[in-house]
A = this chain, B = another copy of it.
Amino acid sequence: MSTKKWVYLFEEVEEAEKYVGGNWEDVRALLGGKGANLADMTRAGLPVPPGFTVTTEACNAYLAAGNQFPEGMWEQELEALQKIEEKTGKKFGDPTRPLLVSCRSGAKFSMPGMMDTVLNIGLTDEVVEGMAKLTGDARFAYDSYRRLIQMFGSVVMGIPDEPFEDVLAEARQKAGVKTDAELNAEQWKEVVEIFKKIFKEHTGRDFPQDPIEQIRLATEAVFKSWNGKRAVDYRNAAGIPHDLGTAVNIVTMVFGNMGNTSGTGVAFTRDPSTGEKKIFGEYLINAQGEDVVAGIRNTQPISAMEKELPEAYAQFLEICEKLEKHYKEMQDVEFTIEQGKLWMLQTRDGKRTARAAIKIAVDMANEGLITREQAVLRVSPEQVDTLLHPQFDLEAKKAATAEGKLLAKGVNASPGAAVGVVAFDADLAEKWGKEEGKAVIMVRPFTRPDDVHGMLAAKGILTSEGGATSHAAVVARQFGVPCVVGASDIVIDLEKRQMTAHGVTVKEGEWVSIDGSTGEAFVGQIPTVETRLEEQKDLMTLLSWADEFRRLQIWANADYPQDAQRARNYGAQGIGLCRTEHMFFEEERLPFVQKMILAKSEEERQEALDALLPYQREDFAGLFRVMTGLPVIIRLIDPPLHEFLPSHDEVFERVITKRVKGETEGLKEDEELLAAIESMHESNPMMGLRGVRLSIVLPGIVKMQVRAIFEAACQVKKEGLEPKPEVMIPLTGHVNELKVIQPQLEEVAKQVMKEQGVEVEYKFGTMIEIPRAAVTAAEIAGVAEFFSFGTNDLTQMTFGYSRDDAEAGFLLKYVEDGILPKNPFQTLDVDGVGQLMKMAVENGRKTRPDLEVGICGEHGGDPASIAFCHSINQNYVSCSPFRVPIARLAAAQAALKEKGFSAK
């Protein structure tokens, strides 16, 4: 009976591959990501210091047996250590040619909470002296030794850091220096002695003077750290299985600080910030890896190595090219040159900016290194998003944070950076922004529809209440205005015209900077960097490839011609949602709207509607012109009518004040207005008289709208263009609602076309945003020619969450606590809302096989949600014009993944 193989030398990668059945992902599972890559480099003939990996299976067996090494494991590890001694010609515990190693954990996925690295294993009282002689650098030797004792003590034996740090502080004080780097050999020697005492005090045993014992304890510590609290919590949160286990990597130490033919560095195979194809990195002569990272000494650009260490540099360039070809990805490598000899210590896919990610993907596809499918899968939709909004200069933002200028954090409601002076109301924001050309950040507790003029004039919006789909957030995303909402630490005092958070007060007119991508608000001005789609040639290329792969169409939500134009420029194939009510809030129209609402007779109401008709007709004509040849879905009026009236409290206060003061002027009018507002009051307006319900009760409004739509369409068709109106009825819950209203509206449409002598292609359909509509989709599809999922409301009602209230309240806690994996208003809740959608598509198409199905909720621009929409065979997703490029990419990725393509 042969014992299982628990330990693989780096050069035994083929055996590992054979054992798992050939799949590289399984090798990574067995050896961990770090170990697998070191083994892989070794196989490719790259200079990797000798070492080996104890498998994740050993870890699992150890933990399962109640912290007992499985049979044969330790013997195999000892054998591997011996092989390393043979390979390096060095020997553990031998002061004349000491072998030192590092010990690191390495799971399939890197995760926080796992055991930190322990370096310099192998140093003992005896060996350290040998090292000092051998290197002629006693300071280095004792510094290394004290590091081992401290790391080993804290990481392996669980001694707190404080006693060690106290000793260091005392030593610095005693020596009269500020940094550890200034301590000399003698001083380190003293520290070593005290460290050893601390070790004994805390563990009851001496610091092990046997290198093999050090390795055994370190191996066990790595295994145990798999079940440490932080690691378990992280896996729970990230959804990583608990049975993966971690591997242990033991690697020969190499030293870059052995004189001027030694050195160490880190590098990227391409420029991680621009994507340019050239080695990018930094290095230091005669230094250790830590020194590069710590920034104590000034590093040199990697190109400088060409002069200083030409041979090693040439070898390094060659290795980098080899690595890129091998991994087909830009690599982030660590290397050390020990006395002229180059050693590769790590390689992994390099992190990069959004811009670089796109350029690298496109370049690599053009170089033939990867396929276009891979290129499309390599760039995340979020990276595309980043490119489309101005961003803060990262360094400047870091500095501002360090200086305590971070005012508050809220919900990242609409991406992009914005800088401006604070205005606390919409009128002022409009005045400063539009008339005086100032950069304004509009700050409000929350916004209402009649704040929109100010929001449009502002560079950014900041609210202290509301969530990611509050009015402020929705409008901001719609118009691409950076926005932070629900920054609840901010207390806004509208009377004093100032806001306060954490003791800092900002007055109206003072500068603030907000980052809508991260949800941060800063005091003062932070410099920004701007970008444009048209200028992003690589992105344009990538998106054109994406368009070839996707099945979903991408439409946009746009209310005005200029938004539609932007959407079309960005590649939108239709308008999925034009919200007609936004038009009602415009200055010259609102009086007619209010007259219509407060009308005391049908005649009065019709008069007001007649006055609104020409405005609406022009709105729609503009849209049809821009979108000629493409479908335009116009949603009939949706909100409850009281939204168009002044707020209750405002009028109530006026009435009470006048009554108490005994003033009669305007009192009667105010009282009447108050009575009207009160009569329209609903305890839960979200679920009240709006949408199709309003249309059935007051059909005049929607008949006017349909007349305007078809008059506009006929007009535009006469101009030689091709309008394709689709009329959408909101909030349907029962098929009978459609049966009542839709024929009346179609009648109006036909009447108009007859009057105009023009035939226009059109559809009538409905939003699916009420759970009951989803459940009874089969019936509804018998009348509606298209479905558009209104996932904002559908999410509200399926969860029973009022979004504004929830996002300002318990919902954030729910997401933080992991009760909800994500904010369901940002990413579709696939298990709940998604199941209703799936049901609706399937049952709807049973009744009407060619049913057009889309989504016009906020989720239409969210990549994960787009993937779900793809999976249930929707025809399109519709999103904000600014998110069209993101959606194009996300849709392509969903299609490619479905077909089994992957980024690698």
Whether A686 contacts B684 by the Cβ 8 Å rule is yes
Q: Does A818 contact B (CB under 8 A)?
A: yes
A802 CB to nearest chain B CB (Å):
4
Once the chains bind, are B687 and A772 in contact (CB under 8 Å)?
Answer: no
Is A772 in contact with B652, judged by CB distance below 8 angstroms? Answer: no
- Min Cβ gap A624→B in Å is 31
In this complex, the interface size class of chain A, counting residues with CB under 8 Å from chain B, is 35 or more
- Taking a contact as CB atoms under 8 Å apart, the answer to whether B799 and A733 are in contact is yes
Q: Cα distance A770–B832 when bound, in Å?
A: 11
Whether the Cβ atoms of A684 and B797 lie closer than 8 Å is: no
Q: From the candidates B661, B731, B800, B802, name the one contacting A772 in the complex (CB within 8 A).
A: B800
How often does this chain occur in the complex, in copies? Answer: 2
The answer, yes or no, to whether A771 is at the interface (CB within 8 Å) is: yes
A-B contact pairs, 29 of them (CB 8 A): A649-B652, A660-B661, A682-B802, A683-B802, A684-B684, A684-B685, A684-B802, A685-B805, A687-B800, A688-B805, A688-B809, A689-B805, A696-B813, A696-B817, A697-B813, A733-B799, A733-B832, A734-B832, A737-B819, A740-B819, A770-B798, A771-B800, A772-B832, A776-B831, A776-B832, A776-B835, A793-B800, A797-B797, A797-B798
Query: What separation, in Å, do the CA atoms of A543 and B488 have in the docked complex?
Result: 59
Name A800's contact: one of B657, B661, B731 (CB within 8 Å): B731
A772 touches B793 (CB 8 A): no
Instruction: List the B side residues contacting A173 at CB < 8 Å.
Output: none
**Among A657, A737, A831, which residue has the most Cβ atoms of chain B within 10 A?**
A831
Residues of B within 8 A of A776 (CB): 831-832, 835
- A469 interface hit (Cβ, 8 Å): no
* With A832-B775, A833-B772 as contacts: A736 and B820 at CB distance below 8 Å: yes
**From residue A776, how far is it (CB to closest CB) to chain B in Å?**
6
A657 interface neighbour in B660, B697, B802, B810, Cβ under 8 Å: B660
Within 8 A of B (CB), among A808-826: 809-810, 813-814, 817-820
Could you tell me which A residues sit within 8 Å of B by CB distance?
Answer: 649, 652-653, 656-657, 660-661, 682-689, 693, 696-697, 731, 733-734, 736-737, 740, 769-772, 775-776, 779, 793, 796-802, 804-806, 809-810, 813-814, 817-820, 829, 831-833, 835-836
- Chain B hits for A656, CB < 8 A: 653, 656-657, 660
Contacts of A697 in B (CB 8 A): 809-810, 813
In the bound complex, residues from chain B placing their C-beta under 8 Å from that of A779 are 831
Given the known interface contacts A683-B804, A775-B832, the answer about A770 and B799 at a Cβ–Cβ threshold of 8 Å is: yes
Q: A652-B649, A800-B793, A832-B776 are in contact. Are A686 and B683 (CB under 8 A)?
A: yes
Contact present for A820 and B734 (CB under 8 Å): yes
Report which of B657, B687, B804, B818 forms a contact with A801, defined as CB distance below 8 A: B687
| B contact residues around A686 at 8 Å (CB) | 683-684, 687, 800, 802
Q: Which residues of B contact A740 (CB under 8 A)?
A: 817, 819
Given known contacts A660-B657, A800-B771, A687 and B806 CB-to-CB distance under 8 angstroms: yes
